[in-house]
């Protein structure tokens, strides 16, 4: 089981070799393999704002630079800003030249400003005027370097264009067929030029060449910005200078003084769907609604692979046998037969699946998906063999998960054998851990264990395949049993 705040005591070996707790693993129903976040493909599904839970279509998100238009973060402490309302003072009666007072705007008006409840920063601190509407309408800043950047971009675009044209021209010259007659129709581009000439249009190249001609390169100067004179005499106020985090929170402006801080539009979050790299099937797919935490597809290992929990264990000592109590749970809706194995007894991974002609054809067409590229990801798990769980040959059966049975109290006490007790889809085992003589005291005692379990495939079968095949699958598990005692 995985815990939120404690280390993971029981880890499963993913098919890519990573060790992860079962809650972090996926199970691909199509490859029948355990997958983890490292060896699957993540995809951005939808954008939403985590504060106002507002969905944003991805095209709009791209336009708004992935920022929410109504929520803001504090530029000082990065907490979410709240909108506060105040009543604007009605304008003071001003005596007119004629002597009679004129009263305008008697009605107090509601005005809004942004305030941080964590550090008490407000948008008034930096002189942003209050807004008449509660959301939106906050003044936006433009990057001071944008103009120059766009000049440069136009310039380089023109150069790239020119290079491309020159290249084309060279090609054209290379392959120009010298016929007997001069044709004005094709290849030379002369017709186009002539047509432009007649119409009085500027020639086609002028666009790019004008951009090049009008460009002014940066001018170097002998003067460098010197330190301000008063830096040696002025007191330093640390609170007036921004920290690195505050500067980098707005990469375009990077204010150095606190008075230049500006509310940060909240960065959107994404819902991700996960896909198996080997078979391209979805492993998880979240619901579209940002408020929902449910999934349309969720092939989590927690629902498909038997779960192992440690009930208790004796302290592990080198060269001895110690007791270990485990609980196994069958999360599936089908009965499961289980057997404990030693990791080295696992059958070698059968890479070559019985493949049909269609499949191999598909593979040869799909050149991108080379098997070699999966190898970069694959790791050899580091399993220590100092401790090992003695694997009894007994075949265990686990009943299917039954929600009604949860209310039964009486555990079925099993006497004899390795089964301690049994209760609906759960099973407690009494096992022994053998520790080798060479295990050094003080080192972490991790025992490895392999599980062989039957799995009923519930994928709706193709037309010609036999329905509901039962597969024999394997999982390797490491158990953290504290430290080896001295």
Partner 1 sequence: MTLYEGIALIQEKQAVVLDLGTDYTKFGFTGEAAPRCIIRSEFWCPAERRDKRVYDYHTAEELYDNLVHMLHLLYYRHVLVNPKERKVVVVESLLTPTLFRETLAKVLFTHYEVSGVVWADSPRLCAITLGIPIALVVSIGAREAEVCAVVHASVVLRAIQSQPLAARAIHDELSRLLDEDNNSILHLPDHIIEDIKVKACFVGPRSRAVEWLEGNGPTPAKSVQYPVAGRAAITVSGRTRELAAEPLFARDNDMASLPDIVLQCIIQCPIDARRALAENILVTGGTASMPGLKARLAHELRHLVTQPPYRGVSKALTGLSPVAIKTIYNRAPDYYKSGPHKFTILPCPYGYNNHMSMFRSDRLHVREFKFHKSSCHDNACAWTGGALVAGADGGARALARDVFTRERRLRDWPCLLDNTPPDHPHRLYRDELSISAFAVQHNMSTRLFFLQACPAQRIIRDARYLLKWHTSRPRLPNGWSLWTSRPLDTQRLVDHDFSYGYARKSRPQHLI
Gyration radius from the chain CA atoms: 35
Q: Does 363 bind partner 1 (CB under 8 A)?
A: no
CB nearer partner 1, residue 4 or residue 97 = 4
DSSP string, 9-71: SEEEEPTTS-EE-GGGEEEETTTTEEEETTTEEEEEEEEE-TTT--EE-HHHHHHTTTEEEEE
Work out which of 3, 41, 194, 205 binds partner 1, going by CB under 8 A. Answer: 41
**Minimum distance between the CB of residue 28 and partner 1, rounded to whole angstroms?**
18
Q: Could you tell me which stretch among 41-49, 91-99, 328-336, 353-361 binds partner 1 (CB under 8 A)?
A: 41-49
- Distance of alpha carbon 324 from alpha carbon 383, whole angstroms: 19
Whether 93 contacts 101, CB under 8 Å: yes
Q: Which two tokens stand for residue 288?
A: 């579209």
**Minimum distance between the CB of residue 246 and partner 1, rounded to whole angstroms?**
10
**Minimum distance between the CB of residue 410 and partner 1, rounded to whole angstroms?**
39
Q: Could you tell me which stretch among 82-90, 97-105, 244-252, 418-426 binds partner 1 (CB under 8 A)?
A: 244-252
- Strand ranges in 53-120 using DSSP code E only, listed in sequence order: 55-56, 67-73, 81-88, 94-95, 101-102, 109-116
Q: Does 235 bind partner 1 (CB under 8 A)?
A: yes
Whether 433 contacts 322, CB under 8 Å: yes
Handedness of CA 45, 53, 84, 245 (dihedral sign): negative
Work out which of 191, 204, 241, 360 binds partner 1, going by CB under 8 A. Answer: 241
CB nearer partner 1, residue 230 or residue 403 = 230
Q: Does 221 bind partner 1 (CB under 8 A)?
A: yes
Work out which of 3, 117, 149, 288 binds partner 1, going by CB under 8 A. Answer: 149
Which residue is listed with tokens 């581009």?
Answer: 189
Q: Binding string to partner 1 for residues 153 to 192, with x set by CB under 8 A, is what?
A: x-xxx-xx--x-----------------------------
Instruction: Restricting to residues 384-403, name those near partner 1 by CB under 8 A.
Output: none
Q: Does 26 bind partner 1 (CB under 8 A)?
A: no
The rounded Cα 223 to chain-centroid distance in angstroms is 47
Q: Does 78 bind partner 1 (CB under 8 A)?
A: no
Taking the alpha carbons at both ends of the chain, their separation in whole angstroms is 28
DSSP string, 415-471: -SSSEEEEETTEEEEEEEEEE-TTPPTTSEEEEEEEEEEEEE--SPPPTTSPSS-EE
SS3 of 184-199:
CCCCCCHHHHHHHHHH
Work out which of 4, 97, 227, 462 binds partner 1, going by CB under 8 A. Answer: 227
Q: Does 43 bind partner 1 (CB under 8 A)?
A: yes
Residues that bind partner 1 (CB under 8 A): 7, 38, 41-44, 47, 61, 65-66, 143, 145-146, 148-150, 152-153, 155-157, 159-160, 163, 215-222, 224-227, 231-236, 238, 241, 243-244, 248, 251-252, 254, 267-270, 272, 368, 370, 373, 376-377, 379
């Amino acid at each position: 089981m995985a815990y939120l705040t404690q280390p993971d005591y029981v880890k499963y070996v993913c098919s890519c070799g990573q060790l992860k707790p079962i809650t972090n693993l996926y199970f691909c129903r199509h490859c029948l393999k355990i997958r983890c976040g490292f060896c699957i493909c993540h995809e951005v599904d939808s954008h939403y704002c985590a504060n106002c839970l507002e969905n944003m279509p991805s095209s709009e998100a791209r336009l708004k630079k992935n920022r929410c238009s109504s929520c803001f973060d504090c530029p000082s402490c990065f907490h979410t800003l709240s909108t506060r309302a105040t009543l604007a003072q009605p304008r003071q009666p001003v005596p007119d030249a004629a002597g009679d007072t004129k009263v305008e705007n008697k009605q107090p008006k509601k005005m809004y400003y942004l305030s941080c409840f964590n550090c008490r920063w407000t948008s008034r601190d930096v002189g942003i005027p209050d807004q008449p509407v509660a959301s939106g309408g906050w003044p936006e800043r433009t990057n001071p370097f944008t103009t120059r950047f766009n000049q440069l971009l136009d310039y380089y675009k023109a150069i790239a264009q020119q290079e491309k044209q020159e290249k084309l021209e060279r090609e054209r010259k290379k392959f120009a067929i010298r016929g007997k007659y001069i044709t004005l129709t094709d290849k030379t581009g002369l017709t186009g030029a002539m047509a432009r000439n007649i119409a009085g249009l500027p020639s086609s190249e002028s666009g790019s060449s004008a951009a090049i001609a009008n460009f002014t390169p940066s001018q170097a100067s002998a003067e460098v910005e010197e330190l301000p004179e008063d830096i040696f005499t002025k007191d330093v106020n640390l609170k007036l200078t921004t920290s690195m985090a505050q500067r980098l929170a707005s990469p375009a402006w990077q204010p150095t003084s606190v008075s230049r801080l500006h509310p940060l539009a909240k960065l959107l979050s994404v819902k991700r769907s996960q896909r198996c790299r080997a078979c391209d099937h979805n492993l998880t797919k979240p619901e579209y609604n940002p408020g929902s935490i449910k999934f349309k597809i969720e092939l989590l290992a927690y629902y498909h692979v038997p779960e192992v929990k440690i009930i208790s264990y004796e302290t592990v000592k080198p060269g001895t046998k110690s007791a270990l109590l485990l609980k196994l749970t069958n999360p599936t809706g089908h009965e499961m037969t289980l057997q404990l194995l030693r990791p080295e007894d696992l059958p070698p991974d059968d890479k070559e699946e019985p493949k049909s002609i269609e499949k191999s054809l598909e593979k040869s067409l799909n050149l991108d998906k080379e098997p070699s590229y999966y190898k970069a990801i694959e790791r050899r798990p580091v399993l220590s063999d100092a401790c090992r769980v003695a694997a009894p040959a007994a075949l265990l059966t686990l009943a299917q998960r039954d929600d009604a049975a949860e209310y039964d109290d009486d555990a079925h006490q099993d006497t004899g054998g390795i089964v301690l007790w049994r209760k609906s889809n759960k099973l407690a085992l009494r096992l022994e851990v053998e520790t080798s003589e060479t295990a050094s005291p003080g080192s972490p005692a991790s025992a490895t264990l392999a599980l062989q379990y039957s799995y009923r495939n519930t994928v709706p079968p193709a037309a010609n395949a036999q329905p509901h095949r039962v597969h024999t699958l394997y999982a390797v598990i490491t158990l953290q049993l504290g430290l080896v005692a001295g």
